[in-house]
Amino acid sequence: MATTDACTGQLFTPVSGAGLDADSAPRPYFHPVRTVSGAVLTDVAPADHIHHLGLSIAFSDLNGTNFWGGSTYTPDRGPVVLPNHGRQLAESWPGTDGMGGAGGPAEEPGAGGTVLWVSEEGVVLARERRTVRAFTHPVPGTWSLSLDSVMVPAGGIPALEVSSSAVKGRTGAGYGGIFWRFPADCSDTTVLCADGAGEDVAHGSRSPWLAISTVTGGAPATVVLAQGTPARPWFIRAGEYLGAGPAVAWSRKAVADAAHPLHQVLHAVIHDGRVTSPDQALRLLEHHPAANTTKHPDRTP
C-alpha cells in the first residue's frame, strides 16, 4: 500500500525489506519516492552499492553489528565482508497495519510502526518507533515528507552505541543514520547548503538544510532536506553516486539509553524542477509544516 495523491498517483511506497539477502542488512525502506510528475528519486540495490535501499535508516556499526550492509571497515585490513550483518524487523509497518492509502498528503499525526533491530546472533538490540508523514505544499509540482525515528535499547541491553567507518579511522566515512539513495542515472547534479555550493562544502557541514538538484529519467528534480536540532554533519556523495543524510556518528560514537533515546528526523521537500539558489531552497522549505526553519513572512512561494 502506498501513500498517494488523488491526482498524481503514488508518491512514496513503504517496503518491509523481508526476503533481502543477509549481506544487504535487510530493513524497511521507502521506494520509489517520486515527484508529483512521477520522476523516481530513489534507488534500490544499485550495481555500485547493492545494499543501498531507497530511503532507509541504517548504521554500519550498532553494538558491533553491521546494519548498513556490505563490508565492515576494519583498522588493520580496511573494508572486509564479515558475517556480522543484522536485520530490522517491522513489527508493524505502513501497508500492513492500516497506514498509507488513497487520501493524499495531509497535515495529520502520521503513520508508522515499531521496528526491531536484531543482531546477527538473533539478539534484539533496539526497539524503534518510526513515523512517516506526508504534506501538501502550496508550490505547484511540490510535496513534503517527514521521517522520524526514536530508538531505545531493547530489554536486557544497557545502551546503544553507534559507530562508523570514520570513527574507526576511514577519513570522511561517517555515514550512518537516515540515508537517501538517489537513482544511478542522476546527472547535472547541484548541491547547495548554508555554507555554500558543492559536495566538498556540504560534506561534513552542519548546515540546517541541504538542497540536491539533479536530472533523473530525463527530468529535472530537487530534494531539499532539513534535519532537527542540533544539526548533525551531512554525509553526501555526489560523484561516485548520489546519496545523502545526517551522520549520527560522524567522528565519535553516539550513545543512547532508555532515558536518552537516539532521535533522528529528516524533513524533505520534493520539487519538480531545479533549485538554483539558497533563497529558492529556503522558500520551498519554509512551507514544510514540520521543518524547524527560520520563517520569512515577506516571502511568497
Query: What does the pLDDT look like over 184-213, one tens digit per residue?
Result: 999 999 999 999 999 999 999 999 999 999
pLDDT at 300 over 80: no
Beta carbons of 23 and 70 less than 8 angstroms apart: yes
d(CA 102, CA 157): 40
Q: Between 180 and 1, whose confidence is greater? A: 180
Q: Quick one: cell of 285?
A: 522549505
The pLDDT tens digits for 200-258 are 999 999 999 999 999 999 999 999 999 988 899 999 999 999 999 999 999 999 999 99
pLDDT at 133 over 90: yes
Q: Which of 16, 56, 76, 262 is nearest to 175 (CA)?
A: 56
d(CA 161, CA 166): 14
pTM of the model: 0.91
Q: Is 78 left (phi over 0), alpha (psi -120 to 50) or beta?
A: left
